Amino acid sequence: MADSTAMNKGLLALTLPDDVRDAIADWRQWLSAERRASDHTTENYLADLYAFLGFVREHRGDTPDIADLLALNPRDFRSWLARRSMDGMAKSSTARALSSLRNFYRFLDRTGRGQNAAVNSIRNPKLPQSVPKPLSPQDAIAVLDNAGAWQDEPWLAKRNLALFTLLYGCGLRISEALDLNANQRPTGDSMVITGKGNKQRLVPVLPIVRDAIEDYVRTCPYAPNGNEPLFVGARGGRLVAQVAQREMRKIRGLLNLPDTATPHAMRHSFATHLLAGGGDLRTIQDLLGHASLSTTQRYTSVDTERLMAVYQGTHPRARR
């Protein structure tokens, strides 16, 4: 599926007018250099834009140039949203794609290529308020205990343990962990993490996290150093999220955990277990790097569910 998407994107890029290709190249450079977007974020933005351009070509009957893109009206954008809905795309995916388009159009305006007000008149899809699905403390520890049980190479097992211990012990997003370079790994009691929107936050580091990372670095045959990636794959390149997710699927199979047990669930578990242990929301918000307290407040419903389960199972009146 990923190869097919890349192929389609490549074929479309070959047929685009020069002004669109130049704008995309400049936008990509701006995202990386000015916005300091991660490679993962940049590729997602580009994939969203290429998918939209493919729709516009089909919708109009020809490949659009910049003038065509600037002339699109609200009805065109609503047709695109309707197509995504018909194709079964998740609302969260469509919301991200719309954000990518707005970013591209803002770039066109900023670089003097022209404006399109219609894209900003389109409302975001209404997203259901998702409730985080953390692991229990016992399952989170079991994940770490089995992080590389199937690996023939000891260093790969240590890499998995270091990565998942970092997610659970520090509450990092998987993208934040994988974007770390060797010289950014924790050497003391805290580390600086650059999160969404290029915002930095100070995260405390437990000794067990630091020790797991150092143990991995010592045994890694690629000896990560300086500006080289901290977490690497079997061939020495920067570890990608898909591989981390695949490793977690293997752990799920070993432990018979639900599909909600993902690398990101380790971050959810970090927050939920802190809250259950008496942590206050503001502190947890800072640790997670949430821009809004309302995002962090989702964890209170998770903790309430846990308390109700305990109540239902232990309170004498609840068992009547």
Contact of 20 with 57, CB cutoff 8 Å: no
Q: Which of 84, 173, 185, 268 is catalytic?
A: 173
Q: Which of 159, 210, 267, 273 is catalytic?
A: 267
Same domain, residue pair 109 and 157: no
Place of tokens 């995916």: 93
Task: Classify residue 219 as exposed, middle or buried by CB count within 10 Å of its CB (0-12, 13-18, 19+).
Answer: middle
The amino acid at residue 283 is T
Q: Label the pairing between strands 200-204 and 190-194.
A: antiparallel
Contact of 266 with 160, CB cutoff 8 Å: no
Q: What is the CATH number of the domain that holds 66?
A: 1.10.150
Domain of 54, in residue numbers: 2-121
Residue 128 lies in a domain: no
User: Is 102 among the catalytic positions?
Assistant: no
Residue 58 lies in a domain: yes
Residue 283 lies in a domain: yes
Q: What is the CATH number of the domain that holds 229?
A: 1.10.443.10
d(CA 105, CA 71): 12
Q: Which of 45, 50, 216, 299 is catalytic?
A: 299
Q: Which of 84, 210, 252, 264 is catalytic?
A: 264
Domain end, chosen from 121, 146, 175, is at 121
Residue 126 lies in a domain: no
User: Is 267 among the catalytic positions?
Assistant: yes
Residue pLDDT tens, the chain, 320 long: 444 444 445 455 558 899 999 999 999 999 988 888 888 888 889 999 999 999 999 998 889 999 999 999 999 999 999 999 999 888 888 999 999 999 999 999 999 999 999 999 998 887 766 666 788 888 999 999 999 888 889 999 999 999 999 998 888 889 999 999 999 999 888 888 887 777 788 888 888 899 999 999 999 999 999 999 999 999 999 999 999 999 999 999 999 998 889 998 888 887 777 756 665 545 555 566 655 545 445 545 544 454 445 435 543 444 44
Residue 130 lies in a domain: no
d(CA 235, CA 130): 37
Q: Which of 102, 196, 250, 306 is catalytic?
A: 196
Extract the tokens encoding 59.
């919708």
User: Is 196 among the catalytic positions?
Assistant: yes
User: Is 173 among the catalytic positions?
Assistant: yes
User: Is 75 among the catalytic positions?
Assistant: no
Residue 54 lies in a domain: yes
Domain tally, the chain: 2
Q: Which of 158, 159, 268, 290 is catalytic?
A: 290
